[in-house]
Amino acid sequence: MQGKGSKPVAILFPKDVQEFIEVLFNVRHLCVSDTNEYLFANPNTKNGWINGYNTMKKLAAESRVSDVSLFTSTCLRKQIATILEVLNITDDEMEQFANFMGHTTKTHESYYR
């Protein structure tokens, strides 16, 4: 997957999520074009994907949370960064995490710490 600045970013799925993805693969041919290469493909397009931002906003609105604006990928990244700070991970681990998130350690320290 491409992250910020078109850097490749790995996506890690827990075992139980992998099982759901297998189900998606098994029924994919019923609603997604064969030419669509995206895992979370938009069935209404030949080569489009489901927009995560719009999906988060829709689910937040449907769940009637008090402040929908708090449901963003940036807030999620900040939450993860806060948890990592509490866990007191090493600089090497922080660098690995920053790379995983698709940015540099400097960016991570400037915006998420």
C-alpha span between 96 and 102 (Å, rounded): 10
Q: In this predicted model, what pLDDT tens digit does every residue of 17-51 receive, in sequence order?
A: 999 999 999 999 999 998 998 888 999 888 998 88
C-alpha span between 51 and 43 (Å, rounded): 12
Per-residue DSSP letter, 5: G
Q: In this predicted model, what pLDDT tens digit does every residue of 52-82 receive, in sequence order?
A: 888 888 988 899 888 888 888 788 878 888 8
State the virtual CA torsion across 19, 80, 75, 52 in degrees, nearest 10: -20
Q: What is the pLDDT of residue 23?
A: 94
